[in-house]
Amino acid sequence: MNRQYQDARNQLIDSLRTRGIVNEQVLQAMLQVPREHFVSKPFKQRAYEDVALPIDKHQTISQPFTVARMTELLEPKPGDSILEIGTGSGYQAAILAEMGAKVYTIERHFELYNEARRVLKDIYPDKPIQCRFGDGTIGWAEFAPFQGIIVTAGAPEIPESLLKQLAIGGHCIIPVGNERSQVMHCIIREDEQSFADYPLEDVSFVPLIGKQGWSGDQ
């Protein structure tokens, strides 16, 4: 592997620790996944900066700190079925797969879906990662319930369908707010009927567009 990327990746993981990420499994997964494969060519040299970077279709690959933080809140265990809404570059899906989860990821832009699927197949030919093209706000009923659901785009409200597909004890991590800024929520399904909702820090994500999200054609 390219030594330059390896050093930069080690430094990034150190800085995530300094910023308060404590889950060792998350940090180890981030040490393994080659982020340079998920960013577009002009940005490869910046793959290990702790910033969001542009990908195709006016979308972004999330900032590494955000990926680490959301994954820590999600608490995926090996063998868990995890649903991700907003595949984007595929980087978050790769982290989840690296942690041993069965990953189900949905993307509404065909080009992004196609490219992420190609990169993920290339890097992880044998890991259980299923990509789907379509509107993720309605979830993926066929494979429910999920031990964890992670939404990597900002929602106007928490989609009902996703809560229905969350296993008891499962965590749903989702930014909720307006189209520019949101609050990260961690929702834990306590039993069939009740959900505990923990609003956390302020964040800023691209909009979640779909039946139970924003309308629009970005």
Q: Which residues bind ligand SAH (CB under 6 A)?
A: 59-62, 85-86, 88-89, 91-92, 106-109, 112, 135-137, 152-153, 206, 208-210, 213
Nearer CB in complex with ligand SAH: 57/188: 57
Least CB distance from residue 85 to ligand SAH, whole Å? 5
Q: Shortest Cβ distance from residue 58 to ligand SAH (Å)? A: 9
Give catalytic status of residue 62 as yes or no. Answer: yes
Question: Which is closer to ligand SAH, CB of 68 or CB of 208?
Answer: 208
Q: How far is the CB of 54 from ligand SAH (least distance, A)?
A: 10
Phi then psi dihedrals of residue 88, to 5 deg: 55, -120
Catalytic residue among 40, 62, 161, 194: 62
**Nearest distance from residue 209's CB to ligand SAH, in Å?**
4
Minimal CB distance to ligand SAH: which residue?
Answer: 88
Closer to ligand SAH by CB, 196 or 200: give it.
200
User: DSSP character for 63?
Assistant: P
Query: What angle is formed at CA 19 by the lines to CA 178 and CA 207, rounded to 5 degrees?
Result: 20
DSSP 5-37: HHHHHHHHHHHHHHTT---HHHHHHHHHS-GGG
Angle at 201 between CA 140 and CA 156, to 5 degrees: 45
Of the two residues 104 and 192, which places its CB atom closer to ligand SAH in the complex? 104
b/e burial code for range 47-70 (CB count within 10 A of at least 16 → b):
bbbeebbebeeebbbbbbbbbbbb
Nearest 5°: CA angle at 162, between 121 and 199?
A: 105
- Which residues are designated catalytic? 62
